[in-house]
Structure 1
Amino acid sequence: MRSLVTTVMVAAASLVIASPALAQDRSVDGRLTQLEKRMNTVERVVSRTSGPLVQPEITPENGPVAAPGTPATAPIADLEQRMTSVESTLSGFTGRLEVDEHKLQQLEADFAAYKRATDARLKALEDKAAPAPGPDDGTAVDDGPTPTRPGAKPPTGPARPTANDPDRAKAVAAVPKPAGKDAVDKAMYAYNYGYRLWQAKFYPEAEAQLQGFGGKFAGHRLVSRAQNLLGMVYMDDDKPNLAAQVFYENYSKLPDGERAPDSLLNLAKALAVLKKPRTDICRVYSELGDVYGTKLTAAQKAEADKGRAASKCA
């Protein structure tokens, strides 16, 4: 009897030892269930004293047993798992790239819409407020009094010139006209004379001198300067709407002109005077930095930084 028990116990132990790979692949509950079944078989064998030997409920598997330390998965399966991980990472990166590209397209569309809306508003303002150009002798049509900017000295004579105002005509005639080679170059003469009229605060006369400069002297290097100066004259003559349009057109039509960066700076100032939304003003400063960047002078950078701070641009 004792030998039979010993034989059965050894057989049961051999079953446990013979299948370590199988036990490693099962869960803890599964392994406990197997052990319980094997112990029940042992008990039944020990308790029998006669009759045929009870066959165990669990028999060793006939398949080959993996040696300890064998990888849990085949090399192909491991490679497929790694490829799946790489594909998942690449898919996430592609998704983020598509989102960023969509955002960039939205920003470009928003800026294009802003430019179209600005063009339309400025064109409407020009059609309503543009004064009739005066003759080439420097006079302008009288369209009523014009307020002066705070702190600015009013020009000599009445607020607006009239064709029959001898005192103002004498004052304008006292402004020295360009001479020498400046007088020979018609574009140079118009620009310099307009500049001197502006300095003397004869704004309507300066406007008449500079209006249409780009059409008369298309392609001349002074066109960018003249248009920027015309916008400054409008600003000093309390016409920020016209000034904003001139500044914007000078930048958009002649982005490589000498005064294109200054026109963007002046456009931001005109929008501030017009009390336009802060976002519009900040977009102008962003455009200035994006387009010209390192080409800006130290004075232009300082002026831009001051304007950004005043408008609380990010």
Structure 2
Amino acid sequence: MTVMIAGLAAAAPVGAQAQSLSLDARVGQVEKRLNTVERVLSRQNGGGPLVQPEIGPPDASTTAAGTPASAPLTDLQARVAAVESATASLTNRVETTEHRLQQLEGDFAGYRRATDARLRALEESRPTSAAGGNEAADDTPARPARPAPATPKPSAAADSARADRVAAVPKPTGTDAADKATYAYNYGYRLWKAGLYPEAEAQLEKYGTRFPKHRLVSRAQNVLGLVYLDDDRAKDAAQIFYENYSKLPDGDRAPDSLFNLARSLVVLKRPAPDICQVYKEVGDVYGDKLTAAQRAEADRGRATYKCK
């Protein structure tokens, strides 16, 4: 019995030492992983030099043989406390980094929306280029600002200034110039966008007379109606829009001409049932063929005039 007790007493320190070494090795692995995370965060937060880890292996020191070691549990408690502190610090840095990323994403999204809005505004207001190009796709934007009304008897200086404005409108070149019908349409379109309504009217009326079967005739007639509408000739505009829709119901701008007809009737102060009839025609004839913007416009019109 005495021998067994002595054996157990001798084995106890060995077991405690093995347990301490095992726990020590596990804490060491945690420290190494934290060091790796710290290096990654250091590079992400600024791309600067690597930041040395706050926790490192204990300084190697030699002790004289036979010198009693410090209590293993006390050492491990100190190291675990250091690991917990470093973990809290890393958690805070990760949360801070995530917050900064969210702010950057929000700022970038706002910047992109503002840039898109500015680009759209520039595209709507920029003059057409002198290099030609087909303006056929751009004949449905917001109307250009109307210039100041001319005096009944313009002076020679006023005539000269208007001639300069007309001369400043670029004429189509390249392939558009070779195609006389396309040239006539595009030049009339550019005159309208420049606010030169009488000149645009003459150009587009000449186009309609000379090229009644051209592929752009639906667009040209719609633009001619817009010229009349902008030039305070709402009755003539309504007539042109109606004829463009009724004669060319499958034309590129037939639905737009119906919407513009409704606008003309509003200017002419026609009763709401007449305007509602136009919006009903839009839905009955074109229905699912309308674009999202056209459907929204039709819905607004019906709501405004309380169409049934």
TM-score (normalised: structure 1): 0.49
Q: Is 1:246 matched with 2:246?
A: no
Could you say which residue in structure 2 is the equivalent of 1:182? 176
Helix, strand or coil at the partner of 2:215: coil
Q: Is 1:206 matched with 2:200?
A: yes
> Residue 158 of structure 1: CA displacement?
3.2
Matches of 1:184 and 1:282 in 2, distance apart?
A: 44
Could you say which residue in structure 2 is the equivalent of 1:233? 227
Could you say which residue in structure 2 is the equivalent of 1:290? 284
Aligned-pair Cα RMSD in Å: 2.3
Are 2:172 and 2:183, in contact at CA under 8 Å, matched by a contact in 1?
yes
5+ residue gaps in structure 2?
Answer: 1-143
Q: Deviations over 1:137-188 (max 9, x none)?
A: xxxxxxxxxxxxxx94416x93579796222111111111111111111111
Matches of 1:161 and 1:298 in 2, distance apart?
A: 46
* CA 1:260–1:159: 2 relative to 1, 3 Å: farther
Matches of 1:187 and 1:197 in 2, distance apart?
A: 16
Same amino acid, percent of matched pairs? 67
Matches of 2:185 and 2:151 in 1, distance apart?
A: 24
Among 195, 207, 218, the residue aligned to 1:224 = 218
Among 140, 147, 151, the residue aligned to 1:154 = 147
Are 1:161 and 1:168, in contact at CA under 8 Å, matched by a contact in 2?
no
Are 1:160 and 1:204, in contact at CA under 8 Å, matched by a contact in 2?
no
Helix, strand or coil at the partner of 1:211: helix
Among 267, 273, 276, the residue aligned to 2:267 = 273
Higher helix share: 2
Q: Deviations over 1:121-142 (max 9, x none)?
A: xxxxxxxxxxxxxxxxxxxxxx
Matches within 5 A, 1:76-225: 152-154=145-147, 158=150, 165-225=159-219
Q: Which amino acid aligns with 2:150?
A: P
5+ residue gaps in structure 1?
Answer: 1-150
* CA 1:169–1:253: 2 relative to 1, 3 Å: same
**Which structure exhibits the higher relative contact order, with contacts defined as CA atoms closer than 8 Å and separated by 6 or more residues?**
1
- Higher Rg: 1
Are 1:247 and 1:266, in contact at CA under 8 Å, matched by a contact in 2?
yes
Matches within 5 A, 1:15-34: none
Matches within 5 A, 1:34-73: none
Among 295, 304, 313, the residue aligned to 2:307 = 313
Could you say which residue in structure 1 is the equivalent of 2:124? none
Moved over 2 A (4+): 157-164, 212-215
* CA 1:229–1:172: 2 relative to 1, 3 Å: same
Q: Deviations over 1:254-289 (max 9, x none)?
A: 111000000001001100110111111111111111
